[in-house]
Structure 1
Amino acid sequence: MTAFIFNTTPSIRMGAGLIDELGSITKALCGDRVLLVTDPGMIAAGIVERALSALRAAGVSVTVFSDVQADPPEPVIFAATEAAKGVGGVIGLGGGSSIDVAKLAALLGAGREELKDVYGVGNAKGPRLPLIAVPTTAGTGSEVTPISIVTTGASEKMGVVSPLIIPDLALLDPELTRDLPAHVTAATGVDAMVHAIEAFASASPNNNPISRALACEALRLMGAALERAVTTPHDMDARSDMLLGSLLAGQAFANSPVAAVHALAYPIGGHFKVPHGLSNALVLPHVLRFNAVTAPDPYAALAPIAFPELTGLSTQKAASGFADALAALSERCGLPAGLQAVGITKEDLPLLARDAMNQTRLLVNNPREVIEADALAIYGAAL
């Protein structure tokens, strides 16, 4: 067996209503003074107040930083870091952006490093503050990953990748996802499925049997649950399966990294402010069809796990059917079917293709080499 490394969040707690135990959980790990990192939507939904009630009941003093925005830019990181000074720990409550900001606030709030010095893989040195992640979407899996994504400049994204920023504890409460809008449930759900797919097929030398097993279980859960979660939002079994599937997919790709789907999605989000999950959904089937020309095996293996009706097909037919089934699932869940639906024109595609080539950290993991002309063709197919 090829040597590999597998890191994940040391403690995971899951259960409906668990948010009401956040106070005692936090006090044991972080002490009696914490920073809560979240966004305005969580305040409007009443989720922040529920968390604050639990924290205050346990005698925990809370500073709330609620200025997180999607695809957080560097000034948000700087402000959250300033708010983290003097606290005993950090809680990230929200979607992937809130948890990503919390990770960096915990790291940089310790006062030993600056953001510019920790970009890239393995550059963070630590220490960091204790960190709890409470996801409110079933999508990014950020609660178990060593990655935080930051928007630099107008549209470029950079990552901080280090096991140091893996949270100490992930608290999964499916009740917190119950009232998500259908389009958010759909887009974040497809994002989580992409994590599992790309982890399983990754060309990374650290692609490993644990990640592949987790990716399979994640797709088994989410392939059956996503449409139900979208169409019947208070189906708590579907919500639970999506939240657990997202976590498992996060564990998978945290150790067997993602590839061209994400590389091509990032410029869409950067230039056109399309949410990350939707950006992934728009290019997913087209990247898989491109990859399946030379590397169909992983997609053929995953096809019947996510979609049992694809059982028994030949390798190429299963791989092709997998891409088609994913596209059909996105459409049934109400997601746009092409780039034009989010305001992208044919004239925009060369810019996207050029920017995608900057995502070398991701493209190196793709099972088929992608050059700029390939990226342009994939975007053209997705138009």
Structure 2
Amino acid sequence: MQNFQFQTVGNIISGLGSISELYNILKAKPYQRLLLVTDAGILQQQLHLPILEILEQLQLDYAIYANVQADPAEQIVLDAVAFAKQQKIDVVFGFGGGSAMDVAKIIAVLSHPEQHQQLSDLYGVGNAQAPRLPLILVPTTAGTGSEVTPISIVTTGTTSKTGIISPILYADVAILDANFTRNLPAQITAATGIDAMVHAIEAYTSKIKKNAYSDLLAKQALRLLDQNLKLVLEDGNNMQARQNMLFGSMLAGQAFANAPVAAVHALTYPLGGHFHISHGHSNALVLTEVLKFNAPAAKQDYAELMCWLDPRSKGCTDGLCDLFIDHFQNHLEQSGLTLKLNTLGVPENMLIQLAEDALLQTRLLQNNPRELQVQDALNIYQAIYA
């Protein structure tokens, strides 16, 4: 049996209506002032009102930081930390998609009154250190799995993204309540669902840290996501399917937090950095071409996943691998997402720049089952251009 280390969030609460447990979580601690970290869209949709109702029942003072944007830039993070320090908060509540939760993690570290690190000190693996403030995370999309990962991604410069990876970023509590995903538009539901699927697939094929525990989580995550994404896209009010998606996304997050993602994510970062294509949509664009590229090295894993998704699948490893790739191409075609770069405003003369930028993501590419060169990345972008 392989030796491995596995870490995750210590307290996970899941179920429709489970946000009600927040009352007991907060009541059990002598918190004085909570910071709700979210975005303007959440406030506009009034998704945060059940949270405020609980805070008011507890007579717990709070402040709201709602300036988080997708792919948050350094300045947004710095502004959020400055706001948190000014407000003298003692517990951080991240509420939203991956960006809101990622910013909340960083706030929890940098706004602790005894913390002496700066944002620039945190970049990389293992650099963010204790202490940090208590941290509660609640996702409003079924995709990033950020509520159970030790990762925050920050847009550095104009087009590049940099990761902060440290166990100190694991939340104290994650709450999964699909009621907060009820009114997600179909396009966001599809993009985030595919993002979660990619997390599961890449965790299962991760070259360096793939292990028996992460494999179990990745397989179960992929089955839940595979079975329920179509149901949710057909009926956005199918709340059991939405809860299954949220749970699957969380399992995938646990898997890739311990067996990291690879080439799909490396190729998506430049698309988000240069053209602000959402992370989930970017994953959808490159997924099947990366699966095809990795197939010579990962076909056994892909065949195993295909048999797990559909036990009726029969055939040789090569045939099952091809069936797996076709299966996910079918997911993409049914997603309603635009799947060609030219229709998303990406100029053809930018493809080489994207390929070169993707190769800078060495933290991710070291996990890929097959070594990727600049020409390989360029071939993938060209295949999805028109």
> TM-score, normalization: structure 1?
0.97
Give the stretch that moved more between structures: 149-158 or 335-344: 335-344
- The residue identity in structure 1 corresponding to 2:137 is A
- The residue identity in structure 1 corresponding to 2:183 is D
- The residue identity in structure 2 corresponding to 1:295 is A
Cα offset, 1:308, TM superposition: 5.2
Aligned positions of 1:123-134 closer than 5 A: 123-134=127-138
Cα offset, 1:29, TM superposition: 4.6
2:177 to 173, 176, 183: 173
In 2, Cα distance between equivalents of 1:30 and 1:146: 25
1:207 to 210, 229, 246: 210
- The residue identity in structure 1 corresponding to 2:182 is R
In 1, Cα distance between equivalents of 2:321 and 2:341: 23
- The count of aligned residue pairs is 381
Aligned residue in 2 for 1:326:
328
Aligned residue in 2 for 1:58:
58
Aligned residue in 1 for 2:280:
277
Runs of 4+ in 1 over 4 A off after TM superposition: none
- The residue identity in structure 1 corresponding to 2:54 is A
Aligned positions of 1:219-234 closer than 5 A: 219-234=222-237
In 2, Cα distance between equivalents of 1:358 and 1:307: 37
In 2, Cα distance between equivalents of 1:29 and 1:144: 22
In 1, Cα distance between equivalents of 2:315 and 2:41: 44
Aligned residue in 1 for 2:150:
146
2:303 to 293, 300, 303: 300
Aligned residue in 2 for 1:35:
35
Aligned residue in 2 for 1:17:
17
Partner secondary structure for residue 47 of structure 1: coil
Cα offset, 1:20, TM superposition: 3.5
Aligned residue in 2 for 1:163:
167
1:89 to 88, 91, 112: 91
2:364 paired with 1:362: yes
Give the stretch that moved more between structures: 186-195 or 320-329: 320-329
In 2, Cα distance between equivalents of 1:197 and 1:50: 34
- The residue identity in structure 2 corresponding to 1:144 is V
In 2, Cα distance between equivalents of 1:331 and 1:54: 42
Aligned residue in 1 for 2:219:
216
In 2, Cα distance between equivalents of 1:337 and 1:137: 21
1:263 to 242, 250, 266: 266
In 2, Cα distance between equivalents of 1:369 and 1:202: 12
Describe the shift of the 1:295–1:97 C-alpha distance in structure 2 as closer, same or farther (beyond 3 A): same
- The residue identity in structure 1 corresponding to 2:179 is E
Cα offset, 1:224, TM superposition: 0.5
- The residue identity in structure 1 corresponding to 2:2 is T
2:139 paired with 1:135: yes
- RMSD of aligned Cα (Å): 1.3
Aligned partners of 1:219 and 1:305 also within 8 Å: no
- The residue identity in structure 1 corresponding to 2:143 is G
User: Residue by residue, what CA displacement relative to the aligned partner does 1:89-135 show, whole Å, maximum 9, x if unpaired?
Assistant: 10000000000000000011113211100100001111100000000
Cα offset, 1:367, TM superposition: 0.2
In 2, Cα distance between equivalents of 1:29 and 1:43: 26
In 2, Cα distance between equivalents of 1:157 and 1:354: 14
Question: Structure 2, unaligned stretches of length 5 or more?
Answer: none
2:68 paired with 1:68: yes
In 1, Cα distance between equivalents of 2:176 and 2:30: 18
In 2, Cα distance between equivalents of 1:252 and 1:228: 24
Aligned partners of 1:225 and 1:238 also within 8 Å: yes
Aligned partners of 1:192 and 1:250 also within 8 Å: yes
Cα offset, 1:26, TM superposition: 2.6
In 2, Cα distance between equivalents of 1:62 and 1:312: 57
In 2, Cα distance between equivalents of 1:316 and 1:30: 58
In 2, Cα distance between equivalents of 1:344 and 1:378: 14
Aligned partners of 1:113 and 1:126 also within 8 Å: no
Partner secondary structure for residue 84 of structure 1: helix
In 2, Cα distance between equivalents of 1:169 and 1:4: 24
- The residue identity in structure 1 corresponding to 2:77 is I
Cα offset, 1:23, TM superposition: 3.3
Partner secondary structure for residue 69 of structure 1: coil
- The residue identity in structure 2 corresponding to 1:91 is F
Aligned partners of 1:198 and 1:253 also within 8 Å: yes
Partner secondary structure for residue 278 of structure 1: helix
Describe the shift of the 1:33–1:304 C-alpha distance in structure 2 as closer, same or farther (beyond 3 A): same
Percent of aligned pairs with the same residue?
50
In 2, Cα distance between equivalents of 1:308 and 1:381: 31
Cα offset, 1:381, TM superposition: 1.3
Cα offset, 1:331, TM superposition: 1.5
Aligned residue in 2 for 1:351:
353
In 1, Cα distance between equivalents of 2:150 and 2:256: 10
Question: Structure 1, unaligned stretches of length 5 or more?
Answer: none
- The residue identity in structure 2 corresponding to 1:225 is N
In 1, Cα distance between equivalents of 2:239 and 2:148: 22
> TM-score, normalization: structure 2?
0.96
Aligned residue in 1 for 2:102:
100
